Structure 1
Amino acid sequence: MRSSRFRAALEALGTAVSAHQGMTTPLLAVMAVCVADILVGPNHFLAPLMVVAPALAVATTTWRRTLVVGAVGGLAQAVLVRYDATLTSHDRRILAGMAVGYLTVVLFSAYGAWWRELRSRQFQAVVSVAEAAQRALLRPPGPRVGGLRLAVRYSSAADAAQIGGDLYAVLDTPYGVRVLIGDVRGKGLDAVQTSAVVLGAFREAAYDEDELTGVARRVDASVARHVPDGEFTTALFAEFPGGEGAPAGNEIEMLHYGHVPGLKVAPDATVTTLEPPEPWVPLGLTRFVTGAPVPWRVPLSPDDVLVLCTDGVVEARGHADGEFYPLAERIGPLVAGAADDLEAAVEQVSADLLEFTAGTRTDDSVLLLLARGRPAVSGVTGVAHAPVGADQRALRARSSAYSGHHWPAGGPPLQGPSDSPGGLTHR
């Protein structure tokens, strides 16, 4: 409670400081006019230049403070009138007209500042809604999903946007952790809409289909139904098997739909390009070809790092020679041995890419690093759909009693209201 109040107080203080800083420029303008009038002497009347102050306040501060600036400028003009001795009957008529004009400028300036504040609040509201919608669409995963460690960097080429035509998802399913990375043809709102179709279909199919090829077929069918003809999405699917009946060893399954091949970085910095045995067409174009994509398996130990990216990374051009970023050549030393600290590794690669391009990247990009979790000490590999709190701790405490047995898909016959319907997963 105290910390939240302290943060609120700091935010209020920052707002107040910013608002007062916004008055600095118009008040300096008032001072400049006064100093200039005094320096040139009483024979030159520079007070009409005071209209600059409220005009500047329109862009820098609130409408109330704009009125304050106008009042300060008006008082300064009154002082200059006496200093310049412009109080004859003829001068008074001129001064009256000048005062009316100055007051008009102040009022219009205050109105302009009020309108700017209103539009700014409306814009902030729209930005907040847009950011929430973007987060809901992309749903950035945490540093660990199931038995998988990961780190990701997403960059959108669109101004004020967090997402674009590049997409990714990492899901912990009953069949293991399933990964999708893709790149929608085009940019802008149309690309975001296609991303929503692809991600939505993947999030549904990944939990329903027992084969990775079935997941891909469902996603492709959704693209064919909901995306205009001629639009397509390159994609790369990966599955880290887990659970009952999973294949032995450290192999992962991959499925190619016209996407940039992944890379495997070994602890000794050896980089292997994971080219598909039979490259396939992107999602949305499969109706023009016969046959089906062929999945293949890749060995991946807990010390290896799987690198997935979109073409925004490998097609980023260097600022010096215009060459493409050589990801396969540069990533080895940056990622090798970093399976336990993927966040630092992805930060190093991102910094290297930014230095290579001198910050001139113009395309969306996703850089995703993945590594297997370390094998568990006991025979139990994990708990699926476990409840939270005390019930979860109780279920974990009882799991050791079943580590030497193989139960049906429904799991061991645990009793009590806290039992998980998913049961325990064993190998």
Structure 2
Amino acid sequence: MAIPLTAIAAVAAADLLAGRNHFLAPMMVMAPALAVVTTTWRRTLLIGLLGAAVQAALVPYDGVLNTQDRRILAGMAISYLAVVLFSAYAAWWREVRTEQYRAVVTVAEAAQRALLRPPGPRVGNVSLAVRYASAADAAQIGGDLYAVLDTPHGVRALVGDVRGKGLEAVQTSAVVMGAFREAAYDEGGLARVAQRVDASVRRHVLDGEFTTALFLEFPTEFPAAPAHPAPTVTGRHGSALPLAPTAPRADRSGEIALLHYGHVPPLRVSPDGRVTSLDPPEPWVPLGLTGFVSGAPEPWRVPLGPDEVLVLCTDGVVEARDPRHGGFYPLADRVGTLVAGAARDLEAAVGRLYADLLGHVGGTLGDDSVLLLLARPR
């Protein structure tokens, strides 16, 4: 309300400073016009009445009543009244539309959060931090998706990227996320989880649409560091003799399983900043396109140390362009410095990485994107 009041004061001051030979009071019409976009319809009416009172006070000062033709003055008064009434109506309509928009946004945010269900900083025995950005205006979810679930089979995670944008992409995301949440708890193998999700996509999504995906499975328990001395036997004179070393047993409890469906390979960052791209031994087609190929992909396993960080993303990150030079974001080159040694503070690490990504693109991402950091606590 300060802006229209300032306009009234400015017009009155200008009229007084211009002298009696200048009638500037009709400029008061700007006050209700400014009130339309700055305050409520009731206050807009109040501003209009206040402006009319100031004009009435300026009329004798400027000597307008002394003119022979007062029809001009009556016309200006009628015009001002029409502007005030129209401004009040416009302000009322703006308030109604704003309330409707707020109601729609509230429902949309509730639906988006129900679909995405952002996890906490720790799920089961896995720590995580995430940054999600939607390319759609005023939206919190788009075609990219992620989920981290604590299941009886271990912590299972999914990162995916639906082809396209907008409402159709969100609908496909709902199909993928719903199928994954069900299968992750029911199926004993990661390959079976992916097959159920793929079956849902082929059943409920239009032909030709697809979703790249990366499935992960963490063991229910990570192994503790061994602290046992080397085995020995007692010699003839009571002395302890070491046994010959035996071949280690195949213990995969410190490994994670991954399953690839055409998605961006994850990166593993060691405590000293070394970056390893975990490329699949056999790349596979995205979800929804498996009917065009025979067979099925198999999970592969990689070790994950207690101080290592797993970096997952969608193509909205690695294909983000620098507007000045047109180059893609060099995630593999920068992630080592930004994430190294951050297994115990993933939130700070993902914040640094996301800020660096925004700096590369000039502050605004042109595509949906997900940055997901995972680590096993020591």
With normalisation by structure 1, the TM-score equals 0.80
Shift of 1:323: 1.2
After superposition, the C-alpha distances for 1:149-180 in whole angstroms (9 at most, x for unaligned) are 00000011111011110000000000000000
Give the aligned CA root-mean-square deviation in angstroms. Answer: 1.6
Q: Contact (CA 8 Å) 1:183, 1:234: kept in 2 or not?
A: yes
Partner of 1:318: 322
Tell me if 1:206 matches 2:170: no
Q: Which has the higher helix share?
A: 1
Shift of 1:99: 2.1
Secondary structure of residue in 1 paired with 2:37:
helix
Structure 1: stretches of 5+ with no match in the other structure: 1-22, 375-427
The answer as to whether partners of 1:241 and 1:247 remain within 8 angstroms in 2 is: no
Among candidates 336, 339, 344, match of residue 335 of structure 1: 339
Spell out, residue by residue over 1:185-244, the C-alpha distance to the aligned partner (whole angstroms, 9 max, x if none): 011111110000000000000000000000000000000000000000000000002169
Cross-structure match for 2:291: 287
For 1:258, the equivalent position in structure 2 comes to 262
Q: Counterpart of 1:175?
A: 153
Task: Compare 277-286 and 323-332 and name the one that shifted more.
Answer: 323-332
Distance in 2 (alpha carbons) for counterparts of 1:106 and 1:41:
27
Structure 2 CA distance for aligned equivalents of residues 147 and 273 of structure 1: 23
Counterpart in 2 of 1:389? none
In the alignment, which of 214, 217, 228 is matched to residue 195 of structure 2? Answer: 217
Shift, 1:320, TM fit:
3.4
Identify the residue that residue 155 of structure 1 maps to in structure 2: 133
Q: 1:299 aligns with which of 294, 303, 319?
A: 303
Q: Deviations over 1:383-409 (max 9, x none)?
A: xxxxxxxxxxxxxxxxxxxxxxxxxxx
Which structure has more relative contact order (CA 8 Å, sep 6+)? It is 2
Match of residue 347, structure 1, among 339, 345, 351:
351
The Cα of 1:290 is off from its aligned counterpart by 0.5
Q: Which moved more, 1:81-90 or 1:157-166?
A: 81-90
| Residue of structure 2 in register with 1:114 after alignment | 92
Preserved contact between residue 161 and residue 213 of structure 2 (Cα < 8 Å): yes
Per-residue CA shift, 1:97-128, capped at 9, x if unaligned? 32222222111111111111111111111111
How many Å apart are 1:357 and its aligned residue? 1.6
Match of 1:90 in 2: 68
In the alignment, does 2:335 pair up with 1:370? no
Is 2:126–2:155's contact at 8 Å kept on the other side of the alignment? yes
What TM-score, normalized to structure 2?
A: 0.90
Identity between Structure 1 and Structure 2 (%): 73
Runs of 4+ in 1 over 3 A off after TM superposition: 88-94, 246-249
1:38 pairs with 13, 16, 19, which one? 16
CA distance in 1, matches of 2:116, 2:155: 17
Whether the aligned pair in 2 keeps the contact of 1:314 and 1:324 (CA below 8 Å) is yes
Q: Which moved more, 1:85-94 or 1:318-327?
A: 85-94
Is 2:114 aligned against 1:136? yes
Give CA-to-partner distance per residue, 1:349-373, whole Å, 9 cap, x none: 1111111222142011000000013
CA deviations 1:65-96 (Å, max 9, x no partner) are 11111111111111110101222473444333
Mapped contact 1:237–1:255 kept (Cα < 8 A) = yes
3-state SS, counterpart of residue 60 of structure 1: coil
SS in 2 for 1:260: coil
Q: Distance in 2 between matches of 1:286 and 1:208?
A: 22
